Amino acid sequence: MNFQQLRIIRETVRQDFNLTEVANALYTSQPGVSKHIKDLEDELGIEIFIRRGKRLLGLTEPGKELVDVVQRILLDTHNLRRIADQFASRETGHFVVATTHTQARYALPKIIKWFKADYPKVHLTLLQGSPREIAELVVTGQADVGIATEALDKSAELASFPFYSWHHAIIVPIGHPLLSVEKVTLDILADYPIITYHEGFTGRAHVDRAFAEAGIVPDIVLSAIDADVIKTYVALELGVGIVASVAYDPEQDRNLVMIPVPELFPANTTRLAARKGTYLRSYVHAFIEKVCPDLGEEAIKAALKPQSVSE
Protein backbone atom coordinates (compact mmCIF):
# COMPACT_ATOMS: atom_id res chain seq x y z
CA MET A 1 0.00 0.00 0.00
CA ASN A 2 1.33 3.46 -0.89
CA PHE A 3 0.17 7.06 -1.07
CA GLN A 4 -0.14 7.03 -4.85
CA GLN A 5 -2.68 4.21 -4.60
CA LEU A 6 -4.64 6.19 -2.01
CA ARG A 7 -4.56 9.33 -4.17
CA ILE A 8 -5.85 7.31 -7.12
CA ILE A 9 -8.75 5.93 -5.06
CA ARG A 10 -9.71 9.44 -3.92
CA GLU A 11 -9.37 10.91 -7.40
CA THR A 12 -11.41 8.11 -8.96
CA VAL A 13 -14.38 9.10 -6.80
CA ARG A 14 -13.81 12.79 -7.56
CA GLN A 15 -13.73 12.13 -11.31
CA ASP A 16 -16.95 10.09 -11.23
CA PHE A 17 -15.06 6.83 -11.88
CA ASN A 18 -13.62 8.02 -15.21
CA LEU A 19 -10.09 6.58 -15.23
CA THR A 20 -9.00 8.74 -18.17
CA GLU A 21 -9.79 11.86 -16.13
CA VAL A 22 -8.08 10.32 -13.08
CA ALA A 23 -4.90 9.74 -15.10
CA ASN A 24 -5.01 13.32 -16.44
CA ALA A 25 -5.55 14.79 -12.98
CA LEU A 26 -2.64 12.86 -11.47
CA TYR A 27 -0.33 13.22 -14.51
CA THR A 28 0.00 9.49 -15.03
CA SER A 29 -1.26 6.83 -17.48
CA GLN A 30 -4.62 5.09 -17.47
CA PRO A 31 -3.05 1.59 -17.45
CA GLY A 32 -0.96 2.69 -14.46
CA VAL A 33 -4.09 3.86 -12.66
CA SER A 34 -5.85 0.56 -13.31
CA LYS A 35 -2.83 -1.42 -12.08
CA HIS A 36 -2.58 0.59 -8.85
CA ILE A 37 -6.28 -0.04 -8.13
CA LYS A 38 -5.96 -3.78 -8.85
CA ASP A 39 -2.80 -4.07 -6.73
CA LEU A 40 -4.51 -2.42 -3.77
CA GLU A 41 -7.61 -4.60 -4.12
CA ASP A 42 -5.42 -7.72 -4.25
CA GLU A 43 -3.47 -6.60 -1.16
CA LEU A 44 -6.63 -5.88 0.84
CA GLY A 45 -8.57 -8.87 -0.49
CA ILE A 46 -11.66 -6.84 -1.43
CA GLU A 47 -13.16 -5.23 -4.51
CA ILE A 48 -13.31 -1.46 -4.07
CA PHE A 49 -15.25 -0.63 -7.25
CA ILE A 50 -18.28 -2.05 -9.05
CA ARG A 51 -17.25 -2.94 -12.61
CA ARG A 52 -18.86 -3.58 -15.97
CA GLY A 53 -16.08 -4.92 -18.12
CA LYS A 54 -13.23 -2.42 -17.84
CA ARG A 55 -15.53 0.42 -16.75
CA LEU A 56 -15.98 1.45 -13.13
CA LEU A 57 -19.60 2.15 -12.18
CA GLY A 58 -19.37 2.99 -8.48
CA LEU A 59 -18.20 1.87 -5.07
CA THR A 60 -18.85 -1.49 -3.46
CA GLU A 61 -20.04 -1.51 0.16
CA PRO A 62 -16.50 -2.12 1.51
CA GLY A 63 -15.28 0.44 -1.01
CA LYS A 64 -17.54 3.11 0.50
CA GLU A 65 -16.04 2.54 3.95
CA LEU A 66 -12.51 2.40 2.56
CA VAL A 67 -12.86 5.74 0.75
CA ASP A 68 -13.72 7.48 4.04
CA VAL A 69 -10.54 6.12 5.60
CA VAL A 70 -8.49 7.09 2.53
CA GLN A 71 -9.83 10.66 2.75
CA ARG A 72 -8.83 10.87 6.43
CA ILE A 73 -5.33 9.45 5.79
CA LEU A 74 -4.61 11.90 2.98
CA LEU A 75 -6.05 14.81 4.95
CA ASP A 76 -3.91 13.98 7.98
CA THR A 77 -0.85 13.65 5.75
CA HIS A 78 -1.58 17.12 4.42
CA ASN A 79 -2.00 18.35 8.00
CA LEU A 80 1.45 16.98 8.92
CA ARG A 81 2.98 19.12 6.21
CA ARG A 82 1.05 22.17 7.42
CA ILE A 83 2.16 21.65 11.01
CA ALA A 84 5.79 21.40 9.88
CA ASP A 85 5.39 24.55 7.76
CA GLN A 86 3.76 26.37 10.67
CA PHE A 87 6.70 25.88 13.01
CA ALA A 88 9.40 26.15 10.35
CA SER A 89 8.16 29.55 9.17
CA ARG A 90 5.20 31.18 10.89
CA GLU A 91 4.95 34.26 8.70
CA THR A 92 5.35 32.79 5.20
CA GLY A 93 3.18 30.50 3.15
CA HIS A 94 0.36 30.31 0.61
CA PHE A 95 -3.23 31.20 1.52
CA VAL A 96 -6.13 30.53 -0.87
CA VAL A 97 -9.54 32.16 -0.39
CA ALA A 98 -12.41 31.05 -2.63
CA THR A 99 -15.30 33.49 -2.87
CA THR A 100 -17.89 35.06 -5.14
CA HIS A 101 -17.47 38.25 -7.16
CA THR A 102 -19.78 40.17 -4.82
CA GLN A 103 -17.78 39.28 -1.70
CA ALA A 104 -14.39 39.83 -3.38
CA ARG A 105 -15.47 43.19 -4.80
CA TYR A 106 -17.49 44.68 -1.94
CA ALA A 107 -17.07 42.83 1.38
CA LEU A 108 -13.42 41.76 1.45
CA PRO A 109 -11.18 44.62 0.21
CA LYS A 110 -10.54 46.14 3.66
CA ILE A 111 -9.89 42.71 5.19
CA ILE A 112 -7.54 41.74 2.35
CA LYS A 113 -5.68 45.05 2.75
CA TRP A 114 -5.27 44.36 6.49
CA PHE A 115 -4.07 40.81 5.84
CA LYS A 116 -1.43 41.87 3.33
CA ALA A 117 -0.17 44.55 5.72
CA ASP A 118 0.09 42.11 8.65
CA TYR A 119 1.36 39.12 6.63
CA PRO A 120 3.34 40.57 3.72
CA LYS A 121 5.26 37.33 3.10
CA VAL A 122 2.15 35.19 2.72
CA HIS A 123 1.12 34.71 -0.91
CA LEU A 124 -2.64 35.31 -1.06
CA THR A 125 -4.77 33.93 -3.90
CA LEU A 126 -8.43 34.85 -4.47
CA LEU A 127 -10.38 32.26 -6.46
CA GLN A 128 -13.81 33.33 -7.72
CA GLY A 129 -16.66 30.97 -8.50
CA SER A 130 -20.21 29.98 -7.75
CA PRO A 131 -21.14 29.03 -4.16
CA ARG A 132 -21.18 25.33 -5.10
CA GLU A 133 -17.77 25.61 -6.76
CA ILE A 134 -16.45 27.40 -3.66
CA ALA A 135 -17.69 24.63 -1.37
CA GLU A 136 -16.04 22.03 -3.60
CA LEU A 137 -12.74 23.93 -3.64
CA VAL A 138 -12.65 23.94 0.17
CA VAL A 139 -13.75 20.30 0.51
CA THR A 140 -11.05 19.14 -1.92
CA GLY A 141 -8.34 21.25 -0.28
CA GLN A 142 -7.81 23.55 -3.24
CA ALA A 143 -8.81 26.50 -1.06
CA ASP A 144 -8.15 27.10 2.65
CA VAL A 145 -11.40 28.96 3.27
CA GLY A 146 -14.52 29.79 1.30
CA ILE A 147 -16.78 32.82 1.60
CA ALA A 148 -20.29 32.88 0.11
CA THR A 149 -23.95 33.31 1.01
CA GLU A 150 -25.16 29.94 -0.31
CA ALA A 151 -24.00 26.29 -0.14
CA LEU A 152 -21.33 26.51 2.55
CA ASP A 153 -23.62 25.49 5.42
CA LYS A 154 -25.01 22.54 3.44
CA SER A 155 -21.88 20.38 3.42
CA ALA A 156 -21.24 18.02 6.34
CA GLU A 157 -17.52 18.21 5.55
CA LEU A 158 -17.36 21.95 6.22
CA ALA A 159 -17.57 24.05 9.36
CA SER A 160 -19.09 27.42 8.57
CA PHE A 161 -19.26 30.65 10.54
CA PRO A 162 -21.44 33.76 10.01
CA PHE A 163 -19.58 36.67 8.44
CA TYR A 164 -22.31 39.34 8.16
CA SER A 165 -26.03 39.69 7.44
CA TRP A 166 -27.47 41.85 4.68
CA HIS A 167 -30.63 42.64 2.70
CA HIS A 168 -31.37 43.10 -0.97
CA ALA A 169 -32.11 46.59 -2.21
CA ILE A 170 -33.61 48.10 -5.34
CA ILE A 171 -31.48 50.23 -7.67
CA VAL A 172 -32.89 52.46 -10.39
CA PRO A 173 -31.62 55.24 -12.65
CA ILE A 174 -32.01 58.85 -11.51
CA GLY A 175 -35.56 60.05 -12.21
CA HIS A 176 -37.12 56.59 -12.22
CA PRO A 177 -40.86 56.49 -11.31
CA LEU A 178 -40.21 54.21 -8.31
CA LEU A 179 -38.38 57.09 -6.61
CA SER A 180 -41.69 58.91 -6.23
CA VAL A 181 -43.46 55.93 -4.64
CA GLU A 182 -43.86 56.35 -0.89
CA LYS A 183 -43.65 52.62 -0.12
CA VAL A 184 -42.49 50.09 -2.72
CA THR A 185 -44.31 46.76 -2.53
CA LEU A 186 -43.77 43.51 -4.43
CA ASP A 187 -46.92 44.27 -6.48
CA ILE A 188 -45.56 47.66 -7.51
CA LEU A 189 -42.08 46.23 -8.19
CA ALA A 190 -43.55 43.51 -10.40
CA ASP A 191 -44.92 46.18 -12.77
CA TYR A 192 -41.35 46.73 -14.00
CA PRO A 193 -38.85 44.45 -15.75
CA ILE A 194 -36.35 43.17 -13.20
CA ILE A 195 -32.61 42.57 -13.43
CA THR A 196 -31.08 40.54 -10.62
CA TYR A 197 -28.70 37.72 -9.73
CA HIS A 198 -28.57 34.38 -11.48
CA GLU A 199 -30.08 31.42 -9.63
CA GLY A 200 -27.78 30.15 -6.89
CA PHE A 201 -25.98 33.47 -6.42
CA THR A 202 -26.16 36.19 -3.77
CA GLY A 203 -29.49 35.37 -2.16
CA ARG A 204 -31.49 34.90 -5.38
CA ALA A 205 -33.49 32.13 -3.69
CA HIS A 206 -34.80 34.64 -1.14
CA VAL A 207 -35.93 36.97 -3.92
CA ASP A 208 -37.75 34.15 -5.72
CA ARG A 209 -39.33 32.92 -2.47
CA ALA A 210 -40.68 36.37 -1.58
CA PHE A 211 -42.45 36.72 -4.94
CA ALA A 212 -43.70 33.11 -4.86
CA GLU A 213 -45.18 33.47 -1.37
CA ALA A 214 -46.96 36.63 -2.53
CA GLY A 215 -48.35 34.78 -5.57
CA ILE A 216 -46.54 37.12 -7.96
CA VAL A 217 -44.58 36.13 -11.07
CA PRO A 218 -41.95 38.84 -11.66
CA ASP A 219 -40.69 39.71 -15.13
CA ILE A 220 -36.98 38.93 -14.72
CA VAL A 221 -35.55 40.04 -18.05
CA LEU A 222 -31.87 39.55 -17.27
CA SER A 223 -29.83 37.75 -14.62
CA ALA A 224 -26.12 37.91 -13.91
CA ILE A 225 -23.64 36.46 -11.43
CA ASP A 226 -22.34 39.80 -10.17
CA ALA A 227 -23.71 43.20 -9.21
CA ASP A 228 -21.50 45.22 -11.57
CA VAL A 229 -23.17 43.64 -14.60
CA ILE A 230 -26.61 44.19 -13.08
CA LYS A 231 -25.85 47.86 -12.42
CA THR A 232 -24.56 48.34 -15.97
CA TYR A 233 -27.87 47.25 -17.50
CA VAL A 234 -29.96 49.11 -14.95
CA ALA A 235 -28.08 52.27 -15.97
CA LEU A 236 -29.08 51.51 -19.58
CA GLU A 237 -32.71 51.57 -18.35
CA LEU A 238 -33.37 47.94 -19.28
CA GLY A 239 -34.97 47.21 -15.92
CA VAL A 240 -35.07 47.70 -12.17
CA GLY A 241 -32.18 46.10 -10.31
CA ILE A 242 -32.36 43.93 -7.20
CA VAL A 243 -28.89 43.66 -5.68
CA ALA A 244 -27.16 43.15 -2.35
CA SER A 245 -27.26 46.51 -0.56
CA VAL A 246 -23.50 46.26 0.07
CA ALA A 247 -22.96 46.35 -3.72
CA TYR A 248 -24.18 49.93 -4.01
CA ASP A 249 -21.43 52.55 -3.87
CA PRO A 250 -22.76 56.15 -3.82
CA GLU A 251 -19.47 57.52 -5.20
CA GLN A 252 -19.06 55.09 -8.08
CA ASP A 253 -22.76 54.59 -8.80
CA ARG A 254 -23.67 58.26 -9.15
CA ASN A 255 -26.04 57.56 -12.04
CA LEU A 256 -28.07 55.18 -9.89
CA VAL A 257 -30.19 55.51 -6.76
CA MET A 258 -30.64 52.79 -4.15
CA ILE A 259 -34.05 52.19 -2.55
CA PRO A 260 -33.72 50.20 0.72
CA VAL A 261 -36.48 47.60 1.05
CA PRO A 262 -35.50 45.40 4.02
CA GLU A 263 -39.14 44.43 4.55
CA LEU A 264 -39.58 42.93 1.06
CA PHE A 265 -37.00 40.16 1.11
CA PRO A 266 -35.63 37.94 3.92
CA ALA A 267 -32.23 38.75 5.38
CA ASN A 268 -29.22 36.87 4.01
CA THR A 269 -26.13 35.70 5.87
CA THR A 270 -22.76 35.45 4.19
CA ARG A 271 -20.63 32.71 5.75
CA LEU A 272 -17.00 31.67 5.92
CA ALA A 273 -16.20 27.96 5.82
CA ALA A 274 -13.18 25.69 6.25
CA ARG A 275 -12.90 21.92 6.00
CA LYS A 276 -13.35 19.92 9.17
CA GLY A 277 -10.26 18.06 10.27
CA THR A 278 -7.90 20.49 8.54
CA TYR A 279 -4.91 21.97 10.38
CA LEU A 280 -4.91 25.71 9.69
CA ARG A 281 -1.83 27.88 9.77
CA SER A 282 -1.77 30.75 12.28
CA TYR A 283 -2.37 33.38 9.58
CA VAL A 284 -5.50 31.52 8.43
CA HIS A 285 -6.81 31.58 12.00
CA ALA A 286 -6.04 35.31 12.13
CA PHE A 287 -7.96 35.86 8.89
CA ILE A 288 -10.98 33.92 10.16
CA GLU A 289 -10.98 35.88 13.42
CA LYS A 290 -10.83 39.14 11.45
CA VAL A 291 -13.79 38.10 9.30
CA CYS A 292 -15.71 36.65 12.27
CA PRO A 293 -14.55 38.75 15.26
CA ASP A 294 -16.96 37.10 17.70
CA LEU A 295 -15.09 33.82 17.31
CA GLY A 296 -11.90 32.91 19.12
CA GLU A 297 -9.17 30.53 18.00
CA GLU A 298 -10.36 27.82 20.40
CA ALA A 299 -13.93 28.02 19.09
CA ILE A 300 -12.65 27.74 15.54
CA LYS A 301 -10.52 24.72 16.40
CA ALA A 302 -13.46 23.04 18.16
CA ALA A 303 -15.73 23.57 15.14
CA LEU A 304 -13.11 22.23 12.74
CA LYS A 305 -12.42 19.14 14.82
CA PRO A 306 -13.64 16.06 12.92
CA GLN A 307 -16.30 13.88 14.52
CA SER A 308 -15.13 10.57 15.89
CA VAL A 309 -16.51 7.34 14.46
CA SER A 310 -18.69 6.85 17.56
CA GLU A 311 -20.30 10.25 16.95
- Percent of the chain residues topping a pLDDT of 70: 94
Confidence grade of residue 84 (pLDDT, cut at 50, 70, 90): low
Regarding whether 156 and 203 lie in a shared domain, the answer is no
Domain CATH code at residue 46 = 1.10.10.10
| Residue 144 structural domain | 91-165+270-304
Q: Are residues 183 and 245 in the same domain?
A: yes
What's the chain's average pLDDT? Answer: 90
Q: Is the dihedral of CA 97, 127, 267, 246 positive or negative?
A: positive
Summarised one tens digit per residue, pLDDT across range 136-158 is 999 988 999 999 999 999 988 89
Predicted pLDDT at 275? 92
DSSP secondary structure letter of residue 144 = S
Residues 230 and 172 in one domain: yes
Query: How confident is residue 308, by pLDDT bands cut at 50, 70 and 90?
Result: very low
Domain termination site, one of 82, 115, 144? 82
Amino acid at 293: P
DSSP letters spanning 255-310: TEEEEE-TTTS--EEEEEEEETTPPPPHHHHHHHHHHSTT--HHHHHHHHSPPPTT
Same domain, 134 and 176: no
Whether the pLDDT of residue 206 is over 60: the answer is yes
Decide if 200 is inside a domain. Answer: yes
Share of the chain above pLDDT 90, in %: 59
Regarding whether 280 and 144 lie in a shared domain, the answer is: yes
Same-domain check for residues 176 and 240: yes
As a whole number of Å, the end-to-end CA separation of the chain is 28
In the chain, how many domains are there? 3
Confidence category of residue 44, pLDDT binned at 50, 70, 90: confident
- C-alpha dist (Å) from residue 224 to 102, 202, 227, 253: 11, 10, 7, 18
In this predicted structure, what is the pLDDT of residue 7?
A: 86
Asked whether residue 95 falls in the same domain as residue 242, the answer is no
Same domain, residue pair 119 and 256:
no
By the 8 A CB rule, do 15 and 22 touch? yes
Query: What is the structure's pLDDT at 82?
Result: 66
Q: What is the pLDDT of residues 90-121, one digit of tens each?
A: 567 899 999 999 999 999 999 999 999 999 99
Residue 42 belongs to a domain: yes
Among 82, 100, 120, the domain-final residue is 82
CATH number at residue 239: 3.40.190.10
Q: How does DSSP classify residue 179?
A: G
Kindly state whether residue 311 falls inside one of the protein's structural domains. Answer: no
CB burial of residue 195 (10 Å; 0-12, 13-18, 19+) = buried
Phi, psi (deg, nearest 5) at residue 305: -65, 130
**Environment class of residue 43 by beta-carbon count within 10 Å: exposed (0-12), middle (13-18) or buried (19+)?**
exposed
Overall average pLDDT of the 223-238 stretch: 95
Is residue 101, in this structure, part of any structural domain at all? yes
Are 152 and 228 found together in one domain?
A: no
Last residue of a domain, one of 27, 59, 82: 82
* pLDDT bracket for residue 1 (50, 70, 90): confident
3-state class of 172 per DSSP? strand
Segment (H or E) for 241: strand 240-244
- 309 part of a folded domain: no
Question: Residue 311's pLDDT is what?
Answer: 42
> In the chain, how long is the greatest CA-to-CA distance?
76
In this structure, are 158 and 286 located in the same domain?
Answer: yes
Sorted by sequence, the CB contacts under 8 Å of residue 300 that are 6+ apart come out as 161, 274, 280, 285, 288, 289
Query: Residue 180's beta-bridge partner residues?
Result: none
Q: Same structural domain for residues 61 and 105?
A: no
Residue 310 falls within a domain, yes or no?
A: no
Give the pLDDT confidence of 159-199 residue by residue, as tens digits. 999 999 999 999 999 999 999 999 999 999 999 999 999 99
Instruction: Tell whether 96 and 65 lie within a shared domain.
Output: no
Instruction: Kindly state whether residue 248 falls inside one of the protein's structural domains.
Output: yes
Residue 39 pLDDT exceeds 50: yes
**Residue that wins the pLDDT comparison between 107 and 72:** 107
* Residue 104 within a domain: yes
Q: Write the pLDDT tens digit of every residue in 9-20.
A: 888 988 889 989
pLDDT of amino acid 306: 64
What strands, in cross-sheet order, belong to the sheet with 256-260? 220-224, 194-197, 240-244, 168-173, 256-260
